[in-house]
Structure 1
Amino acid sequence: MHTKWKVSCLAGFIVGVTFTLTACGTGSTASNATGSPNASSNSSKALKPLTISAGPNGAFQRNFNPFSTSADPGTQGLIYEPLFYDSVVSSNVYGILGRSTAWSNHNKTLTVTLQTNANWTDGKPFTSQDVVFTFNLLKKYPTIDLNAVWSKLSSVKSDGNDKVVFNFKQADVPYATYVLETYIVPQHIWSKLGDPSKVDVTNPVGTGPYTLSTFSPEDYTMKANPNYYGGKLSVPEVDFPAYNSNDSADLALSTGSLDWTGLFIPNIDKVYSSKNQNNKYWFAPGGLNLLTPNLKNPLLGNQVVRQAISMAVNRNDLSQKAEYGYEKVANPTGLILPTFQSWVDPNLPKTDTTFTFDPTGAEKLLQSAGFKKNGSGIYVSANGQALSFKLIVPSGWTDWDQDAALIAAQLKQIGIQINVQQEQYAGYQSDLSSHKFDLALVSTNVGPSPYYVYQNTFGTGASTNYEQWSDPKTDQALADFASTTNETEQKQDIDKLEKIVSEQLPAIPLIYGAEWYEYNDSQYTGWPDANNPYVTPAPFSYPAEEIVLLHLKPTAK
């Protein structure tokens, strides 16, 4: 984990750089590198509820279980909180229920110092016993251990009321992010509920800045927690209306009845931002979209073929025609830019840091490797295998469907046949997991450093290593990164991975994914944007939603 992350604040406490033990100050308000996250309200009585939609998901079921994948929006962050949160669009690290951390025992032991004045909304104090209980709950009921933290942990113990000691089976510094972002529940309530995966939590008790106020399947509200340990909140009430479709949510956004959402909106400048000076959006790079080959296919296992495919794909067309310019051309290294600009190896040659659209060069490359065109104009190998592949893509993902069609047309121009197959998402995901595909459009997971994309996408045995890349140098660089907190050593490890990805193309970077995010700033200022990218802005990114709300301040009248 990169150790040069900014000092950040949340809920009235300063937290030192993650994974170093740093003293924390207290106070009724806080300031950080990005502004004041919990300024007191100015004439909040005149403010209408801030209306939020995490997506058009239809009617709500009353379920505020933080361990449920179908929990209602706001459950994670606004009600139940983790210890820390690492921003994936900036270098900020936010202490929430945790104040500081320290590694010891050759980076196999992590000690977390907790907030000492947090309470559950029923008045009971939050202590280290709640944290230990929560992790033991994950151990007892593995179905709720969605990040598989107990595959890495050997024990979790309290050290007094304000410290928790996490012992890892082996040094794995980056995995601490998944541990520290686990949502904590109160022992005095959850010890009586049995299997958490079978519980519908209708009246949640958390430590977060909001409490459930009203609920119906069509709409529910949360009000500011009057006893929140971070002090008085600037946003006194949030409202979550239900929407059945993108169209209904789009209409609510355009008419001003929806303040904050994350929607894919074609021609957004024309249909949204130009209609009102307070209508804003920012589509931060939120991942990496790849053309993923099945490397067990002997043709796609040939690096020359992958290089030719990459050279023949016009990424600018994908960005502009299929993605309306929202998603920019990716970097060959696999780094998500500009978020991880500081990680780029300055010694890499330009050919490793910039894609070149060169269909003529792609054909020459194939020809030099012994491929020849058959009577149908398709290149075949020396033993007669045609460069003809099936490309799978989720059905109904209109931008990806268009990406796939463009790729097929572009590759046909150089003698590579692509047959696009749109699949229902469940079938698409099954084919990826079982490696029953030739090529696939795939998006990566993200994290607070480049390590997470590389590990999840290219680490041997990783569940999302769909291409089945297995390379000792890749695995060694990942293992070396995970074993240390030394910034210089980590940078050297990432340099090695950049070179491997850009030169060997285990998967082919295309364009960046986007974090869809639209908002209206007529009532509040302090929203994250390209000039102040303090946290992931989408309202369905948890607990980033909490951090955004704690940064907002009423607009001066």
Structure 2
Amino acid sequence: MSRYQIRFRNACVVGVAAIGLAASGCTADGGGSGAGGSTTLVAYTGQSGDYQINFNPYSPTMIDGPGSIYEPLFFYNVARKDEPKPRLGTEFSWNDKGTELTVTLRQGVKWTDGRPFTADDVVFTFDMVRDNPTMNSTGFTGKTTAVDDTHVKITFDKPSFSEGPQILGKFWIVPKHLWAKIGKPAEDVMKNPVGTGPFKLAEFKPQAFTLEANPDYYDGAPALKKIRYVALSGNQSGADALKAGQIDWQTGPVPDIKNVEKNYPGYRAITVPMNQAALFTCSNADLGCKGPQTDPAVRKAVYYAMDRTQLNALAFENTASEISPGFALPGRDKALVSDRLKDPVAPMQPQPGTARRLLEGAGWTKGSGGIYTKGGRQLALTVKVVAGWTDYITAVNTAAEQLKKAGIKLTVQQLSWNEWSDARGRGQYELLMDSLYQGPAPDPYYLYNYFFSSRTTAPVGRTANPNFARFKDPKVDEALAALAGIAMEDTAARQPYYDTIQTRIEESMPYIPMLTGGTTSEFNARKFTGWPTQDNLYAFPAVWGRPDNSQIYLNLKPAGE
């Protein structure tokens, strides 16, 4: 495994191994353990390899920005059903038909370059997203107008209630006076970001970048003065750095995860079931995908060949839980899981007979070495995974052994995050391991609209965002369009459309369900107070969760203050 280095405050260079971190003596403002009064939080997001600068909040390869630098109009908590919290907006309301959304904006806000924030910035942002398919991950089609400097109105051609949390909670408002000069906003990496958020960029280096508190933030400068994001060589180096007290927050596995407080004095952990781990497939041959995984029978055979109980034990220390092939969360969305699914939840034990029948029914026959063949070619697949993500690497290596028993050859390819992310976006892969994330409100509609809408995908070679599987189904698109026009509280009217979506994606299986990940974070409770707890999940507590992490940063205070 390659080694990388982290530079703390330009004062000392230390290796990623715990011994190197501990020996460096870098503690003040560098993340040392204890209450020592430091106001810098050192965060590790799982970045494996050097950072490549990109603060464009609409880019699939951005490294930060949403929530911290660029703000939404409101914050929606996906961890529990809270009322939206004002950010750049203060109030909003729909007309009775769901075709007009009016938003009141906060007054007295300034961009970090000193220019005033106005309704024109919101109109510009919404129009820019609408007119750039790569940036428009929600399929937004509304028309936005400025009523005056502090009010905007968004109109739709049809009822669009479900659009609310997406555009209010996941559209990152950018400054018109700067972005209007950018010829290709979807591709610009935004090296010098200007936002309204609580933080701004202080320094960028490939090994680490630092955000600093915005002293002119409209709600007052945060008590947390700096956030340093470090690049390490993977989960093991993250655990080593945590042990040495050199990082303050990471989301990822550590050994003996049940005993974090004992093994890592001063630290605590929290686990929330939220993101759904899956084998992403480039599934659509019509959009340029190539390989055996373009056959639905192969995808479903992989699904039935997996031993999820073993995967959970070996890769996730039993912190994961059941997953539904319809991708409604079995816990949070239990009432919405369709009773028309063949499997309400994926089988935890392998079903080799079912896998065999699927493959042989699709014309695959057992060849030499027990691997299926068709047309003279083996059923061999390559799965891409980020180097250093030890839990995912263990998962795909374990899956490879499981699939071999079912006659499927799986080769694991470890890549840097940058290479993996680029392959994911462009569809230049057969399989890769990743997670489907939730939307801005606790409802599966948003995940469906992100990952299964034809509007959020693209042919291979062009960047999809985030329908990376290249899935297209007219019936799913029709159901999504219908759901957008039904008030979210009317669950009886919405359920038939959920039934359609869930059964169609179970049949096609462009994302092969593995497990619902128990998202676990370890954080320095001795150095900072105000972290989310199971009793107070005021935000989804993942360091890479955006804008949730910014909401947590705003709530943190150095211990003793």
TM-score class, shorter-chain normalisation, is 0.7 to 0.9
Q: Does 1:408 align with 2:400?
A: yes
Give the aligned partner of residue 85 of structure 1: 75
- How far apart are the structure 1 equivalents of 2:396 and 2:54? 38
- Give the alignment partner of residue 544 of structure 2, picking from 533, 540, 543: 540
Structure 1 residue 269, shift from structure 2 partner: 4.8
Give the aligned partner of residue 314 of structure 2: 321
Give the aligned partner of residue 229 of structure 1: 218
| Alignment map for 1:131-210 (pairs within 5 Å) | 131-135=122-126, 142=132, 147-148=135-136, 152-153=140-141, 155-168=143-156, 171-180=159-168, 181-187=170-176, 206-210=195-199
Count of aligned pairs between the two proteins: 501
Give a deviation string over 1:260-319, Cα, whole Å, max 9, x none. 23344344456x542345311234334222245647599877766655543331011112
Structure 1 residue 155, shift from structure 2 partner: 3.2
- How far apart are the structure 2 equivalents of 1:556 and 1:522? 10
Give the aligned partner of residue 95 of structure 1: 86
Give the aligned partner of residue 509 of structure 1: 513
Q: Does 1:260 align with 2:253?
A: no
Give the 3 Å change call, closer, same or farther, for CA 418–461 of structure 1 in structure 2: farther
Letter matched to residue 406 of structure 1:
T
Secondary structure of 2:68 counterpart: helix
- How far apart are the structure 2 equivalents of 1:72 and 1:384? 43
- How far apart are the structure 1 equivalents of 2:292 and 2:54? 49
- Give the alignment partner of residue 343 of structure 1, picking from 336, 350, 357: 336
Give the aligned partner of residue 11 of structure 1: none
Letter matched to residue 237 of structure 1:
K
- How far apart are the structure 1 equivalents of 2:246 and 2:352? 52
Give a deviation string over 1:221-244, Cα, whole Å, max 9, x none. 62463x5433575x2523426455
Give a deviation string over 1:84-106, Cα, whole Å, max 9, x none. 23333333333211123233484
Give the 3 Å change call, closer, same or farther, for CA 556–165 of structure 1 in structure 2: same
| Alignment map for 1:43-82 (pairs within 5 Å) | 47-55=37-45, 56=47, 73=64, 75-82=65-72
Q: Does 1:238 align with 2:242?
A: no
Q: Gaps spanning 5+ residues in structure 2: where?
A: 1-34, 458-465
Structure 1 residue 49, shift from structure 2 partner: 0.4
Give the aligned partner of residue 481 of structure 1: 483
Give a deviation string over 1:363-419, Cα, whole Å, max 9, x none. 6745995989657474879x98888242422363544343333333323334x2324
Give the 3 Å change call, closer, same or farther, for CA 192–437 of structure 1 in structure 2: closer
Give the number of the structure whose alpha-carbon radius of gyration is greater: 1
Give the 3 Å change call, closer, same or farther, for CA 506–274 of structure 1 in structure 2: same
Contact 1:149 1:178 in 2 (8 A): no
Which shows bigger deviation, 356-365 or 153-162? 356-365
Contact 1:219 1:241 in 2 (8 A): yes
Give a deviation string over 1:60-96, Cα, whole Å, max 9, x none. 89987666777775x4433432212333333333321
- How far apart are the structure 1 equivalents of 2:422 and 2:109? 43
Give a deviation string over 1:505-531, Cα, whole Å, max 9, x none. 454311134545221112443312444
Give the 3 Å change call, closer, same or farther, for CA 58–104 of structure 1 in structure 2: same
Secondary structure of 1:52 counterpart: strand
Give the aligned partner of residue 435 of structure 2: 443
Give the 3 Å change call, closer, same or farther, for CA 192–497 of structure 1 in structure 2: closer
Structure 1 residue 481, shift from structure 2 partner: 0.9
- How far apart are the structure 2 equivalents of 1:66 and 1:312? 38
Give the aligned partner of residue 26 of structure 2: none
Structure 1 residue 108, shift from structure 2 partner: 3.8
Contact 1:535 1:547 in 2 (8 A): yes
Letter matched to residue 408 of structure 1:
A
- Give the alignment partner of residue 333 of structure 1, picking from 314, 320, 326: 326
Secondary structure of 1:282 counterpart: strand
- Give the alignment partner of residue 388 of structure 1, picking from 379, 395, 401: 379
Letter matched to residue 362 of structure 1:
T
- How far apart are the structure 1 equivalents of 2:496 and 2:176? 43
Which shows bigger deviation, 386-395 or 94-103? 386-395
- How far apart are the structure 2 equivalents of 1:189 and 1:129? 12
Contact 2:197 2:214 in 1 (8 A): no
Give the aligned partner of residue 523 of structure 2: 519
Give the aligned partner of residue 458 of structure 1: 452
- How far apart are the structure 2 equivalents of 1:441 and 1:91? 29
Give the 3 Å change call, closer, same or farther, for CA 395–79 of structure 1 in structure 2: closer
- How far apart are the structure 1 equivalents of 2:544 and 2:86? 20
Letter matched to residue 131 of structure 1:
V
- How far apart are the structure 2 equivalents of 1:374 and 1:313? 19
Give the 3 Å change call, closer, same or farther, for CA 385–236 of structure 1 in structure 2: closer
- How far apart are the structure 1 equivalents of 2:370 and 2:211? 59
Letter matched to residue 455 of structure 1:
N
Give the 3 Å change call, closer, same or farther, for CA 385–452 of structure 1 in structure 2: farther
- How far apart are the structure 2 equivalents of 1:323 and 1:530? 20
Indicate the percent of aligned positions where both proteins have the same amino acid: 26
Alignment RMSD, CA only? 4.5
Give the 3 Å change call, closer, same or farther, for CA 435–267 of structure 1 in structure 2: same
Secondary structure of 1:422 counterpart: strand
Which shows bigger deviation, 274-283 or 363-372? 363-372
Contact 1:316 1:329 in 2 (8 A): no
Letter matched to residue 484 of structure 2:
A
Letter matched to residue 312 of structure 2:
S
What TM-score results when the alignment is normalised by the length of structure 2? Answer: 0.72
Which shows bigger deviation, 75-84 or 248-257? 248-257
- How far apart are the structure 2 equivalents of 1:80 and 1:371? 52
- How far apart are the structure 2 equivalents of 1:149 and 1:411? 33
Letter matched to residue 253 of structure 1:
L
Contact 1:389 1:439 in 2 (8 A): no
Give the aligned partner of residue 9 of structure 1: none
Letter matched to residue 183 of structure 1:
W
Which shows bigger deviation, 517-526 or 289-298? 289-298
Secondary structure of 2:67 counterpart: helix
Contact 1:172 1:482 in 2 (8 A): yes
Give the 3 Å change call, closer, same or farther, for CA 135–50 of structure 1 in structure 2: same
Letter matched to residue 280 of structure 1:
R
- How far apart are the structure 1 equivalents of 2:209 and 2:367? 62
Contact 2:37 2:560 in 1 (8 A): no
Give the aligned partner of residue 117 of structure 2: 126
